[in-house]
Chain A
Amino acid sequence: MVIDQYRFRRLLFDSLNFAFVVMVALILFQAPEEEQILRDMKFYALLWGGLMVIGALISELFLKFRIVTLGELTFSPPSRKHLRSQHNLFYTFWGWQFIISLILTLWIGCLITKADLWELLDERGIRGAIHLFYALFDPNWQILPQAIVNVIVTIFMAFIATAFAIPVAFILSFFCAKNIMKHPVAFVIYLTLRTLFNFIRSIEALIWAIIFSVWVGIGPFAGMMALMIHSIASLAKQYSEMVESVGEGPIEGVQSTGASFLQTIWFAIVPQVILPYISFTVYRWDTNVRMATIIGFVGGGGIGTMLIKYQGQAMWNEVGTIVIVIAVVVWAMDQASALIRDALK
């Protein structure tokens, strides 16, 4: 029995789906307390594993009888596409598998998130919210100068983070491009950098801000560092994807003149990627301004820190002012960045 890529994906999908459906049904039926689940975690884990095995067996069995499961539908190899019939959703097995999974997921999802219509319609709650909205729309303009100063800090935080990230990401992007790093030693560098950048990007800028606010102290510098680290990783990835997609022709053409490695990159690759680079970079700055606001919440300085301060004291009129300032700046940045990127096309 060969486990090829198709079979593996189908089995994984179907067994996860089966284990999930049975488990959810069980929990909905039994309605165990949270403590009970925590205590019996081991039992549930074992049960999950067992159910996955059964699910995989069922998937194999169904395939033998040419019954198309959802996993088969999604991951079947091209050679078996003909098995997918043109039947109506309700006449297929995978259709029902899908419907049942969806209903169970929505049901348990509502239970878990404690979604409660009555809570939303609670009179006192609504009155509180209305009060807050009134306050938000009745901003306290006294703090406007302060808010403007802080939003400028935030914009510059994003700007400096982007500006410092550009040259670093630019240079590193060539080391992250498969088509340049062909040599065995180069390939190791390529893999190392790729892994490192994937790791950095998988940690949210917000988390980086927390790390740096411990490292260099609360304030704009921590926020800037967090954004910069994140921007380097993101830009290097986007840049290197551009480098990987350039045409081989100009590279060969420039190489054939006897150009050196650096000259080849500069004259054959850079001209092909420079416009998308600028486009990505502008977009990154735009994103960074938005992120810089959020990062302020955890001590990254700027308008975010100011907002969280007033929010903590339930001073909604002041919060209203700040929200308006943020909205205007984000909107303006968004427009500017869209216009610039459009002009670069």
Chain B
Amino acid sequence: MGESGVTVDSSKVILSIKNLVKTYPNGVQALKGVSFDVREGEFLVIIGLSGSGKSTLLRCLNRLHDPTSGSILFDHGKEDIAQVKGAGVRRIRQQIGMIFQHFNLVPRFSVLKNVLLGRLAYTPIWKSLLGWFSEADRKKAIEHLSLVGIAEKAHLRADNLSGGQQQRVAIARVLSQNPKIILADEPVASLDPATCHTVMEYLKKVNEELKITIVCNLHFLSLVRQYATRVIALKEGEIIYEGSPQDIDEQWFARIYGEGAKEVHVN
């Protein structure tokens, strides 16, 4: 597998996944022993047909799902995410944030309150239940909203925003967590092509300016070429390609997406 064109320092591994297996209670083996490294500061994109296990993989990384076996070493091997329990899981989730295809905001809350939810792990339970977030948290939240260009919508209800705007709120929320890594599960799959690029640009900005590592599931290869620094392709729960986006030629394309598949461009 080719690895040319990768600019990130490969010595700095932030996540090291070894032999990750996930079998769902209904018997579906969604991941069949996946091993790879995530490097600090990279924009790693995971591609593959739907059902290939991309979402499952991301959800194992922040323990929204429990892996069946294997290890996920985090923080230079100090911690195995696959093994942590209870409060440890919540600490992992705080450090490895996530954004979703359907944004997963709380629809009835204001934009600002949604962003403040990113501070829950930092706020004592009784304070958070009373809605007492610190002044510093509020200021930061507004800053993060400005970063994604929607500070002026802070007091609108989240469900009054368009899809693209909601996804930007979700980015602001994940930034409030002050995460080391952001997982993005098809963040633009339910957006129209124009908005799609806006959101991807903000993710790129977060990656380049704030130096936050990003692991992102994507559907369209054209987007992958534009934004990824490195690519992993999954097929039926196994990694079949790992390398630079530029090296995915027609042959690889056919192997990843199946013979007869045609590349679609988002412009």
Q: Which residues of A contact B (CB under 8 A)?
A: 249-250, 252-260, 262-263, 266-268, 271-272
Contacts and interface: CB of A to CB of B under 8 A. Distances in A.
B8 interface: no
- 4 tightest CB-CB pairs across the interface, nearest first? A253-B104, A258-B94, A258-B121, A258-B93
B125 A263 contact: yes
A67 B106 CA distance: 55
B51 interface: no
Given A252-B64, A262-B125, A262-B129, A257 B170 contact: no
B32 interface: no
B188 to A, nearest CB: 16
Given A249-B102, A267-B106, A267-B117, A256 B129 contact: no
A266 B129 CA distance: 7
B52 interface: no
B71 interface: no
Given A252-B64, A262-B129, A271 B102 contact: no
B120 A253 contact: no
A257 B116 CA distance: 10
B118 A257 contact: yes
B121 A259 contact: yes
B117 A259 contact: yes
Contacts of B104: 249-250, 252-253, 256
A250 B105 CA distance: 5
A267 B105 contact: no
B149 interface: no
Given A263-B129, A271-B109, A272-B108, A254 B117 contact: yes
Given A249-B102, A262-B125, A262-B129, A257 B173 contact: yes
A253 B99 CA distance: 8
Interface in B97-114: 97-98, 100, 102-109
A250 B102 CA distance: 9
Interface on chain A toward B: helix, strand, loop, or mixed SS?
helix
Highest count of chain A CB atoms <10 Å: which of B103, B106, B121: B106
Contacts of B121: 257-259
B115 to A, nearest CB: 10
Contacts of B198: none
Contact of A250 (B92, B106, B119, B125): B106
A139 to B, nearest CB: 49
Contact of A256 (B98, B102, B106, B109): B98
Contacts of A256: 62, 64, 93, 97-98, 100, 104
Contacts, number: 79
B114 to A, nearest CB: 8
B128 interface: yes
A257 B64 CA distance: 11
B177 interface: yes
10 contacts: A252-B104, A253-B104, A256-B62, A256-B64, A256-B98, A257-B97, A258-B121, A266-B129, A267-B117, A272-B106
Given A256-B98, A257-B118, A250 B107 contact: yes
Given A262-B125, A267-B106, A253 B94 contact: no
A13 B113 CA distance: 55
Contact of A267 (B103, B120, B170, B177): B120
B90 interface: yes
A269 to B, nearest CB: 10
B42 to A, nearest CB: 21
A258 B108 contact: no
A116 to B, nearest CB: 59
A254 B118 CA distance: 8
Interface in B63-102: 64, 90-95, 97-98, 100, 102
Interface-centre pick from A253, A258, A260 (highest chain B CB count, 10 A): A258
B155 to A, nearest CB: 16
Contacts of B177: 257-258
Contacts of B108: 271-272
A273 to B, nearest CB: 10
B120 A254 contact: yes
A263 B90 CA distance: 12
B102 A263 contact: no
B106 A253 contact: yes
Nearest to A254: B117
A260 B87 CA distance: 8
B170 A253 contact: yes
Contact of B105 (A253, A255, A263): A253
A257 B102 contact: no
A72 B242 CA distance: 58
Nearest to A253: B104
A272 B107 CA distance: 8
Contacts of B128: 263, 266-267
Nearest to B105: A253
B106 A255 contact: no
Nearest to B102: A249
A257 to B, nearest CB: 5
Contacts of B103: 249, 253
Interface in B142-181: 170, 173-174, 177
A257 B129 CA distance: 15
Among A257, A267, A271, the one with the most B-chain Cβ atoms within 10 Å of its Cβ is A257
